[in-house]
Homo-oligomer: A and B are copies of this chain.
Amino acid sequence: MKLASYKSGRDGTLMIVDHTLTTCCPATDIASTMQAALDHWDSVAAKLEEQYTLLCEGKHSGAEPFDTSRCAAPLPRSFHWADGSAYVTHVELVRKARGAELPASFWEDPLVYMGASDAFIGPEDPVEAESEDWGIDFEGEVVVITDDVPAGTTVEKAANHIKLLGLVNDVSLRNLIPGELAKQFGFYQSKPWTAFSPVLVTPNELGSAWDGARLHLPLRATYNGELVGAPNAGQDMTFDFPTLIAHCAKTRSLMSGAVIGSGTVSNVGSKDGSCCLAEIRCLETIRDGKPSTPFMSFGDRIHIEMLDAAGSSIFGAIDQQVVRYQPSRD
């Protein structure tokens, strides 16, 4: 099934969306919010599926057109957002561009950072930033949402805890990253907002493209109308999702609604383009000695989407414009 949240208060209103993303209905008689559904997944999932089936068959009496402009992030705020950097080929490329060696351990020990989850933004919400000097960039990623994961879970067990999948744009402020990483405490100011696809979907929606660990489809990033990347998310993912989850649950449990991200999707050699400007700039630096593609400007648009084998959108599109944010300092 596919689930969205329409904007309403801090946690939105949970909506069930049909397979084609054409119609939807409120799920509020089953669970008022996505977090409430995740907190009681075992008892509500079957009920939601039942309504979803009616909706897909065109038999739901409460069906209404699905309007992505009303969408919040499907999980509008979460208690845990751990973002990996699972495509190590991307990390290697970034290092190569600055003439640094990749430590061998990076191929064996996952990189994960904790992100801000007190407000995720909707698929069509603007990306607000105070200054273009911060080096505004997008990052197209795949994420999974878990139920409760006990501490010390194995990779094999971890796969069973994946309840939903989606796409995100992990907005990054590239010019703030070097200073933050040098302090070793991880990203903070440099990772302000994360936008989500209109819907999250259960693994069974993905057919053979989902092997229980990786999602084998291209992730399409279109920047100001031009397709700049369509790397296959199932290729070159050094650490698959169960491995990331087991890493995150090594010393403590994860609770329902934990969001685990893949990091920027990237394929060896970037032959099908890139899902972030930083990677494009690294390739330019390696080739030309310096980058020629600037970071995002106010007014720029980024569109991130994944199509199934038949060319239909699975998660709906993230489609955002960068806008200037003027803080009130009076």
Contacts and interface: CB of A to CB of B under 8 A. Distances in A.
Given A85-B185, A189-B247, A255 B327 contact: no
Which of A119, A130, A192 has the most chain B CB atoms inside 10 A of its CB?
A119
Nearest to A152: B327
Interface stretch (A74-82, A267-275, A284-292): A74-82
A39 interface: yes
B79 A78 contact: yes
B251 A130 contact: yes
Interface string A84-109: 01000000000000000000001001
A173 B152 CA distance: 15
A258 interface: yes
Nearest to A194: B252
A160 interface: no
Interface string A234-273: 0000000000000110111111111000000000000000
11 contacts: A77-B255, A109-B179, A112-B188, A114-B116, A130-B151, A134-B251, A150-B327, A152-B328, A157-B329, A181-B185, A193-B252
Interface of A: 10, 39, 77-80, 82, 85, 106, 109, 111-119, 128-130, 134, 150-154, 157, 173, 176, 179, 181-190, 192-193, 247-248, 250-258, 325, 327-329
